Amino acid sequence: PPSRSENSVTIQWNPVTNASKYAVNISPLSSSSYRFLGYIGNTRNKAKINKLKAGTAYVIKITALRRYR
């Protein structure tokens, strides 16, 4: 079981047609620098983000990426 000190959030979004993957970025609301968390394949449209600090507001940015041929 997760420890009590771990703060996480699960976010879900509407699938984007023709997206090959999604990039997940996070930034504290007080900052404008985003940190890249990773890619999520186009078969999943949700992500769990761990290690959030209690009392901190975050902006989470999901970018749909398309594979160009």
Q: Higher pLDDT residue, 68 or 13?
A: 13
User: What's the pLDDT score for residue 30?
Assistant: 95
pTM for this predicted structure = 0.82
Tens-place pLDDT, residues 13-58: 999 999 999 999 999 999 989 999 999 999 999 999 999 998 999 9
Cβ pair 35, 26 in contact under 8 A:
yes
Distance CA 50, CA 1 (A): 14
First-to-last alpha carbon distance for the chain, in angstroms, is: 44
Cα distances from 3 to residues 8, 19, 21, 46, 54, in angstroms, run 11, 35, 31, 22, 14
